[in-house]
Amino acid sequence: MEHFSVGVVGTGYVGLATGACLAYVGHRVTCLDNDLERVASLREGRIPFYEPGLEELMARSAGRLRFAGSERLAEVAGEADVLFVAVGTPQGGDGSADLSNVAEVARAIGRSLGGSTPREFPLVVVNKSTVPVGSAYYVSTLVGDGIDEAGGEGAEFRVASNPEFLREGSAVHDSLFPDRVVVGTDSKEALDVLRTLYTPIVEQSFPTEWDPRPKVAVPFVTTDLASAEMIKYAANAFLATKISFINEVANLCELVGADVSEVAYGVGLDDRVGSRFLSAGLGWGGSCFPKDVAALRATAREYEHETPLLDAAAAVNERQRKQVISKLQRDLHTLKGKRVALLGLSFKPNTDDLRGAPSLTIASALNSLGARVIGYDPVAGKAAAQLAPDIQAVFDPYEALRGAHAAVVVTEWEEIRGLDPSRAASLMREPKLIVDGRNALDAAASQEAGLLYRGFGRGYDRG
Ligand code: NAD
């Protein structure tokens, strides 16, 4: 197999998983970041965030995986066949994606190319960050500007879009065993390079000790730039809408006396629907769904086009978070002086990521209503306390429950699913209310243990 020299700019969840995975399957990879503390920690084999299995994958790829500060971009770009851009694209003030990191990197790549000796083959610049349709063209222009700035002539490059679909918490698995690899480009050279680069993953021909499943070839989807960029947004918008859909149904279930867990099970068995992403509760959050839905709506606005379905998905989601507060108010009445435990703070289980985490908005709403908020999370407690002064972080779930009038299940970590309801009831103060924002607990067992259980659309919601 042909092995490439690869650069990856950005060592977050996506860049690091991509770099470690490509090194693991045989390529020589240098990951770059402008956060030098992060680079120093990576050089010691430590990742600066929580992602199960990623340190192990890095260790297994050690001989082929290096880390460097961004100031070494020119050197890395000079040697690389492929350069991935995997920097953050946070939500801008108007909802659109903030492309300033991508733009900065694109210009710097151009300056590196312009200042170097002529190349035998063009550098393939790959956008892995989630960027709005048209960004590949924008990147291409900025790389060109950088080349001009450096006074370079004939520095050749090609641009491709290769959106990422990994999920935090299972980034290693998703990088090695993806559902699909999508490449958008108008360059045959770029497509050939990326097809070869991904061959070990597409053919599942790399050695693996930890996944005994039969190897199934991964679809390699080739398309134009705009479609590749749109695939990413459409995928996330669909998943977010699916959750909002079941939340809409959950709200109706509460009115008519049905149990949304039963309904979702019955609906999800239809393989046209599928059972995943049909869990009702306090809605979606995180570093991707909210910003990607907002960016897609912002793109539509640029064309003066309306997106009623996406608007509704976002509105339903916002309402779900507010429902946590109204469910607390219904049983606690005034929240002033009440002690409320938040169980789980990260935006979902198996990650420490707090970006767009419902816990933060719920804590701030509770705080403004005079409640005292105690938070527990297996990995994100310390970071949450630093980020949100509204939350007093403790490091044991039962400690959070001690003396609490109410608890909200915000993130369904296994440990929180497995809470002992009797122990919880013995520690809590009347009315011992549990608002289960993820429908994760055993409702009947909780009631029997003396907790006042309220789920979302489950029939345990009426007093
Ligand atoms: P992240 O915030 O975890 O990491 C981004 C990294 O880029 C950081 O280490 C930061 O220091 C570095 N960086 C920023 N600007 C830089 C610059 N100018 N030069 C060098 N380094 C720079 O981000 P992430 O979660 O890995 O996401 C990266 C992109 O991938 C985003 O566009 C995101 O939407 C997309 N994405 C994320 C996920 C996910 O689950 N996190 C999944 C799919 C796609």
Contacts 24+ apart (CB under 8 A), 31-35: 31/7, 31/65, 31/66, 31/67, 31/68, 32/7, 32/8, 32/67, 32/68, 32/69, 32/70, 32/72, 32/73, 32/76, 33/9, 33/67, 33/69, 33/70, 34/69, 34/70, 35/11
The larger pLDDT score, comparing residue 215 to residue 376, is at 376
Indicate the range of 48-52, 208-212, 305-309 predicted with least confidence.
Answer: 208-212
Look up residue 410 and give its amino acid.
Answer: V
**Residue 135 counted as domain residue:** yes
Is 21 catalytic? The answer is no
Q: What pLDDT digit, counting tens, does each position of 17-59 carry?
A: 999 999 999 999 999 999 999 999 999 999 999 999 999 999 9
Q: Are residues 156 and 29 in the same domain?
A: yes
What mean pLDDT, rounded, does the chain reach? 95
CA of 428 to the centre of ligand 1 (A): 40
Q: Are residues 201 and 268 in the same domain?
A: no
- 294-333 burial, b if ≥16 CB within 10 A, otherwise e? bbbbbbeeeeeeebeebeebbebbeebbebbbebbeeebe
- Backbone φ and ψ for 453, nearest 5 degrees, come out as -95, 130
Query: pLDDT tier at 371 (50, 70, 90 boundaries)?
Result: very high
User: For ligand 1, atom 38, which residue shows the shortest CA distance?
Assistant: 14
Q: Are residues 195 and 322 in the same domain?
A: no
Does the pLDDT at position 201 exceed 80?
Answer: yes
User: For ligand 1, atom 14, which residue shows the shortest CA distance?
Assistant: 87
Q: Are residues 182 and 258 in the same domain?
A: no
With a 6 A CB cut-off, is 8 part of the ligand 1 pocket? no
Q: What percent of the chain has pLDDT over 90?
A: 91
User: For ligand 1, atom 2, which residue shows the shortest CA distance?
Assistant: 88
CA of 101 to the centre of ligand 1 (A): 9
Domain tally for the chain?
2
**Residue 228 counted as domain residue:** no
Ligand 1: which atom is nearest the Cα of residue 10?
7
Ligand 1: which atom is nearest the Cα of residue 38?
9
With a 6 A CB cut-off, is 88 part of the ligand 1 pocket? yes
Query: What is residue 1's predicted lDDT score, i.e. its pLDDT?
Result: 64
Q: What pLDDT digit, counting tens, does each position of 252-271 carry?
A: 999 999 999 999 999 999 99
Q: Tokens 């801008």 appear where?
A: 92
Choose the final residue of a domain: 161, 190, 223: 223
Q: Are residues 271 and 330 in the same domain?
A: yes
Q: Are residues 174 and 283 in the same domain?
A: no
Structural domain including 166 reads 5-223
Q: What is the pTM of this model?
A: 0.95
**Residue 236 counted as domain residue:** no
Choose the final residue of a domain: 188, 223, 258: 223
Q: Are residues 177 and 303 in the same domain?
A: no
With a 6 A CB cut-off, is 51 part of the ligand 1 pocket? no
Ligand 1: which atom is nearest the Cα of residue 291?
34
CA of 16 to the centre of ligand 1 (A): 9
Q: Are residues 42 and 127 in the same domain?
A: yes
Q: Which residues contact 177 (CB under 8 A, 6 or more apart)?
A: 204, 211, 218
Q: Which one of 38, 98, 161, 164 would you pick to mutate in the ligand 1 pocket, going by the greatest count of ligand atoms within 8 A of its CB?
A: 164
Rounded average pLDDT over 223-227: 98
With a 6 A CB cut-off, is 147 part of the ligand 1 pocket? no
Ligand 1: which atom is nearest the Cα of residue 163?
44
Q: Are residues 358 and 454 in the same domain?
A: yes
Q: Which one of 287, 289, 351, 355 would you pick to mutate in the ligand 1 pocket, going by the greatest count of ligand atoms within 8 A of its CB?
A: 287
**Residue 411 counted as domain residue:** yes
Ligand 1: which atom is nearest the Cα of residue 16?
26
Q: Are residues 418 and 366 in the same domain?
A: yes
With a 6 A CB cut-off, is 35 part of the ligand 1 pocket? yes
With a 6 A CB cut-off, is 91 part of the ligand 1 pocket? no
Ligand 1: which atom is nearest the Cα of residue 165?
43
**Residue 279 counted as domain residue:** yes
**Residue 140 counted as domain residue:** yes
Query: pLDDT tier at 340 (50, 70, 90 boundaries)?
Result: very high
Q: Are residues 26 and 139 in the same domain?
A: yes
Distance between CA atoms of 102 and 253, rounded to whole angstroms? 44
Domain with 433 in it: what CATH number? 3.40.50.720
Q: How many CB atoms lie within 10 A of CB 190?
A: 24
Q: Which one of 9, 13, 104, 168 would you pick to mutate in the ligand 1 pocket, going by the greatest count of ligand atoms within 8 A of its CB?
A: 13
With a 6 A CB cut-off, is 174 part of the ligand 1 pocket? no
Q: Which residues contact 111 (CB under 8 A, 6 or more apart)?
A: 74, 146, 147, 149, 150
Choose the final residue of a domain: 176, 191, 223: 223
Rounded average pLDDT over 273-298: 97
Q: Are residues 343 and 274 in the same domain?
A: yes
Does the pLDDT at position 115 exceed 90?
Answer: no
With a 6 A CB cut-off, is 70 part of the ligand 1 pocket? yes
CA of 423 to the centre of ligand 1 (A): 41
Query: What is residue 463's predicted lDDT score, i.e. its pLDDT?
Result: 45
**Residue 235 counted as domain residue:** no
CA of 224 to the centre of ligand 1 (A): 23
**Residue 231 counted as domain residue:** no
With a 6 A CB cut-off, is 104 part of the ligand 1 pocket? yes
